[in-house]
Structure 1
Amino acid sequence: MSDIVGQMIETSGLANLSFNNFFMIILACVFLYLGIRKRYEPYLMIPIAFGMLLVNLPLAGLMGAAAHGNPGGLLYYLYQGTNLGIYPPLIFLCLGASTDFGPLLANPKTILLGGAAQFGIFAAFFLAVVLGMTPEEAASVGIIGGADGPTAIFLTTRLAPQLLSAIALAAYSYMALVPIIQPPIIRLLTTEKERKVEMKANREVQHKEKIIFPIAVTIFVSLLVPSATTLIGCLMLGNLIRESKLVPRLAETLQNTLMYIVTILLGITVGAKADGDLFLSVVTLKIIFLGLLAFIIGTASGVLLGKLMYKLSGGKINPMIGAAGVSAVPMAARVVQKEGQRANPSNYLLMHAMGPNVAGVIGSAVAAGVLLAFFG
């Protein structure tokens, strides 16, 4: 009997719990708290955190590969959708079906603001190289500045898969913290007079424009940056399904059912790659620092170009809409709307900010394609 009890103790999770396991379980609980209690990006934070929790429970073997008669763990097989780059493009397909590019088409020059906000990606990339990271790792870290989780995951799985969990968590954490990070930057770089600027209502966009746009963007971007075709193609297909108005059930399925299914699969498998050895390392600190820096520079770049456009337009463009150039849709646009009404209660900037906001989605995908072309 004593041998049986001893064997049960030796093979229990408690007996095999390492400090790294314990640390990651506590961290997973913290992220669950942020997702549930604080509502920080709960659709992804909750499954990511629970994936972290599951994979760090000793001897559970959920991420174990098939070997020597062992069929392998459930999360190992689900992870192949992340590892092979299947889930992020599907997220883009669903995102396209949920996105209205009308504000961008109504004011095409706002695409420049979406482009300017991607400057943070390349600034962080060069700094990461200076800090000793490989070009592949630096590119994966820099893409956090685009504030687009699926894009960060897509690029990282191809260039630096060993950093996937840390980069994914950093990317989604900063996306969730957009309402906290962006307002101080906006106020620092703009004057009260600029923040009070009211913009005229956008023109009405014709239906045929919305049909032509996704087709034209797919052709143009794919010919210019072929490595961006996977993300852009899925994004624009989803949008074409939405705007065609001919297949409403497909559009509804993409916007709801498929989006939620893929989101939970992506989240739990990304969390399942959270290894304690990685999180308790200098590399993780670099990722957290560089990711935040990339996001700050991206926001600042958009606002600064917005100030230039404010000057050139004779004060008709509110420079704050440049902050929405990061592709955290629609959170960044809502931040601009809130800051606009804080300065001027009659100000309504949401639809104006959605132009650079959706342009940022395209911009981050193109930036990922450029980095993939160079280092993939």
Structure 2
Amino acid sequence: MRRRTFITTVSAAVAFSGAMWSEAAAASVSAGPSPYGPLGAPDANGMALPAGFTGRIVARTGRNVGGTLWHPAPDGGACFADGTGWIYVSNSEVPLIGGASAIKFRADGSIERAYRVLNGTNLNCAGGATPWNTWLSCEEIFRGRVYETDPYGTRAAQSRPAMGRFKHEAAACDPDHRVVYLTEDETDGCFYRFTPTTWGDLSSGRLDVLCGLGGDSVEWRPVPDPQPGTLARQTRNQVSAARRFSGGEGCHYAAGTCYFTAKGDRKVWAYDTARQTVSAIYDGTGTLDGVDNITGRPSGDLYVAEDGGNMEINIITPDGVVAPVMRLDGQSKSEITGPAFSPDGTRLYFSSQRGTSGETAGTGGITYEVTGPFRR
């Protein structure tokens, strides 16, 4: 299947799931039985999984994988179709050398090769995939940038300063409205929307910030200076009515609704593009703690990784159930990052940023794969 055809097919399926969630976005989410059943005992790699699921380690920081050394502190990630195989891209959240790497898998799941797609950047935390098959790698530093990278390793990465200079976290493309949503990891961070001058070209465009109108109602207002040069003009402080979120993290769009997490708020938020409202679909009172990276499936299921907590990935179903689908034992000083599904939806990739060592430099990072009957 051609790359663009694959993306179009997935977008149509996700549109259906977004429609389901738009009706339930304001509904309460509470702990309940997982659609996959309870977690079993930890396997040899410390992964507790439901019956019928298996896991493996695909990469470790500082060790050779597919001809390259895997980077420290693996963070945000995404999968891309590539012929009969696929590619998993992962950021590196360390200073100065950060960047991102990619692993190319064959059709049978074996690793063909690995390579760098971005070098010499700072604290690359999360990001997002685009419909035109690029990876947006975001710097989580003061006046950080978004870099557009090529998962296939053929084109040089490009800085996209028009998307704003701030402490970037994640990005989610909305092909229906031709915009990109952006989160900000500050205790008084904002939620942004970038509208490219030309869809598919992120070199120029308008940056807006979400503003409150009272209650759940919101509107977008332009950021006067997306590339501020002084402390007084920090991006998040340029529009006084900007809505604040404590510790913006992951971001995922599904036809009509953009879901994003805020670890300080301990909530999963939903921005409804039709109603122009933002509301919490999860308020931190269930099994999910330390909400961080988020992804989703055409089924309408959301998958949220924990930063700390008890090191789980939890599912949030369209009918309002939150339940663990994976837990890592013996890694309480780490965080789970980069959840992403293979194009066929049968494999889930993610990392433990600091692994069993818990070292802040991320030298113990481990990247995993879980295979099983995930709901499509």
* Band of TM-score, shorter chain: under 0.3
Higher normalized strand content (fraction of residues): 2
Higher normalized helix content (fraction of residues): 1
Greater RCO structure (CA 8 Å; 6+ sep): 1
TM-score when normalising by structure 2: 0.22
Larger Rg: 1
